[in-house]
Amino acid sequence: MNTFVAPEVDWAGLTPVLIVLAAAVVGVLVEAFAPRGSRRPVQLVLGLLATAGALVAVVWRWTVVQDAGPSALVSGALIEDTPALFAQGLLALFGLLGLLVIADRTESGEGAFVAQAATRPGSTDEADATRAGMAQTEVYPLTLFALGGMLLFAGAGDLLTLFVALEVLSLPLYVLSGLARRRRLLSQEASVKYFLLGAFASAFVIFGVALLYGYSGTVRLDGIAQAVPATVGMDWLLLGGALMVIVGLLFKVGAVPFHAWTPDVYTGAPTPITGFMAAATKLAAFAALLRFVYVVLPDMSWDLEPVMWVVIILTMLLGTVLGIVQTDIKRMLAYSSIAHAGFVLIGVISLTQEGIGAVLFYLLAYGLATIGAFALVTLVRERDADGNVTGEATHLSQWAGLGRRSPAIAVAMVIFLLSFAGIPLTAGFMGKFAVFTAAVDGGGTVLVVLAVLASAATAFFYVRLIVLMFFTEPDGETTAVVSSEGMTSVAVGVCAVATVLVGVLPGPVLELAGQATTFLP
């Protein structure tokens, strides 16, 4: 007679995840029972406390792991080691900054989200809901659920937990992508595209999990790693399963040829969600990809290297070339994110310990610049023929002369653009330097040369926007910079200062990232 043995759970190790998910559940209860007028401030305070609390909890767990060593939680379903905690700390930071932008409203009280998502775009019901001042405050618990899934994703120790975390982080983002206040049909189209393509990616992951289980008899990453040198005659199961899991993760990072959703979703989604998603989802997916590649696949590098080289080269090439021809700033930043995915993948396949810390450092630099840049996009608005301020000014020509009308906004955008381009004295430069150095040590010199050329080419579309803002006369008064409640300004200020500080004084952060270079076997 078999008896069930309950797993031992180290609840302290789960503290960051529990804080965020518990706050998300409380947020659902707030939506159900709190008066409509009090929901937004309650949800905002709850979200900010949860993300700040998770960040503090990660710092505490980091000190514990440094003293006592890494550990497997919930029978190995989750791993608490320094790479997972470093990624979770960044995710909590990005969640905190992202929530500030998500919650902000303009001086007229207009937020980024539709008043009532269930109304038909352009209908009388939608207009009535907008005039009544209604708000989709469900945005806050949905964001926290997505962040909780990302925290799990970064520390998943087995493939089933990886898949569940993938769905927990993805499903709220599918909904959030369709809630833009303006350009409703474009937003709903983005949501549907993201959902359909995300479903295909999830199918690849679960099929890959089945093949890897058939190969090794386990879904735990360490168990699969032990089976790789010991199992003979079923290499096709291992290779096929590994490729399918990698395909699902490459979809989340927006690598070619799994990138098709990126420009449309980045353009159609509410801009604060685009910034949060671009920074946090990419970080979580790369953290999971790092663990999978470094723990399971080191002995398969000979088989996977040609495939990954092709993906990296195509990703850098397509992101660079198509980014140059874009005229919409959100689409330009979308193709920029694709090119950056190629740069980060170079560090992933270096298979050196330094590569792990370098990738995490790069993702910090990229995330800060991304959240800051998309936050600024929310403040630059169009003016109609009557002088009324309307939607976001996303066409590049509308940013002409912004440096004269709003120097602070333009200077902050310059900082983020220079970081994207990898110009010295910014965090982006140090991120690229760290990743490219690790790749050269890992034998990827050819990829690094191609990446440097691609990086130089991407600088064109960043510099083009700088020239527009500071050295081009505006075409009439068609653009305005709106005032807000100030939360976006706080997020932009933190991102800009951190981007410069990490670029000028990278030592402490690089040292921390250098400690996050060993996965628990």
Q: Hey, where are the domains in the chain?
A: 11-515
Sign of CA dihedral 356, 357, 362, 368: positive
Tell me which H or E stretch contains 176: helix 159-176
490-508 pLDDT tens trace: 999 999 999 999 999 998 9
Q: What is the mean pLDDT of residues 142-170?
A: 93
- 263: Cβ contacts below 8 Å, ≥ 6 apart: 331, 334, 335
Q: How far apart are CA 416 and CA 412, in angstroms?
A: 7
Nearest to 269 by CA among 184, 393, 339: 184
In percent, how much of the chain has pLDDT > 90?
54
Q: What is the pLDDT of residue 387?
A: 64
Which one-letter amino acid corresponds to residue 485? E
Where does the pLDDT of residue 353 fall: very low under 50, low under 70, confident under 90, or very high at 90 and above?
confident
The per-residue b/e assignment along 400-433, b for 16 or more CB within 10 angstroms, e otherwise, is: bbbbebbeebbebbbbbbbbbbbbeebbbbbbbb
Could you count the other beta carbons within 10 Å of the beta carbon of residue 446? 11
418-429 pLDDT tens trace: 999 989 989 999
Report yes or no: 392 and 491 within 8 Å, Cβ to Cβ. no
Helices (H), 378-444: 402-405, 407-421, 427-441
pLDDT at 8 over 70: yes
Q: What is the pLDDT of residue 76?
A: 83
238-248 pLDDT tens trace: 888 999 999 99
Q: What is the mean pLDDT of residues 405-425?
A: 91
CA dihedral 463, 466, 468, 472 (to 10 degrees): -110
Q: How far apart are CA 480 and CA 82, in angstroms?
A: 45
Q: What is the mean pLDDT of residues 108-117?
A: 74
DSSP 180-241: BSSSHHHHHHHHHHHHHHHHHHHHHHHHHHHHHHHHHS--BHHHHHHHHHH--S-HHHHHHH
In percent, how much of the chain has pLDDT > 70?
94
Residue with the bigger pLDDT between 294 and 110: it is: 294
pLDDT at 21 over 80: yes
Helices (H), 271-348: 271-276, 282-296, 301-324, 329-348
pLDDT at 385 over 70: no
Q: What is the pLDDT of residue 231?
A: 65
- 6: Cβ contacts below 8 Å, ≥ 6 apart: none
Could you count the other beta carbons within 10 Å of the beta carbon of residue 240? 16
Q: What is the pLDDT of residue 133?
A: 66
Q: How far apart are CA 161 and CA 170, in angstroms?
A: 14
46-92 pLDDT tens trace: 999 999 999 999 999 999 988 888 888 888 888 988 999 999 999 99
Where does the pLDDT of residue 39 fall: very low under 50, low under 70, confident under 90, or very high at 90 and above?
confident
Report yes or no: 276 and 102 within 8 Å, Cβ to Cβ. yes
pLDDT at 476 over 70: no
Pairing outcome for strands 389-392 and 78-80: unpaired
- Mean pLDDT, the chain, rounded, equals 88
Q: What is the pLDDT of residue 233?
A: 66
pLDDT at 1 over 60: no
Q: What is the pLDDT of residue 226?
A: 87
296-352 pLDDT tens trace: 887 777 778 888 999 999 999 999 999 999 889 999 999 999 999 999 999 998 888
Q: How far apart are CA 506 and CA 516, in angstroms?
A: 15
Where does the pLDDT of residue 403 fall: very low under 50, low under 70, confident under 90, or very high at 90 and above?
confident
- 4: Cβ contacts below 8 Å, ≥ 6 apart: none
pLDDT at 395 over 80: yes
pLDDT at 193 over 60: yes
pLDDT at 157 over 80: yes
pLDDT at 132 over 70: no
Nearest to 256 by CA among 189, 309, 186, 329: 309
pLDDT at 430 over 90: yes
Q: What is the pLDDT of residue 390?
A: 75
Q: What is the mean pLDDT of residues 478-482?
A: 80
Q: How far apart are CA 79 and CA 70, in angstroms?
A: 8
Q: How far apart are CA 390 and CA 335, in angstroms?
A: 26
Nearest to 349 by CA among 318, 314, 317, 307: 307
Nearest to 517 by CA among 360, 329, 326: 360
Q: What is the pLDDT of residue 206?
A: 93
Joined together, the tokens standing for residue 234 give 């079923």
pLDDT at 386 over 70: no
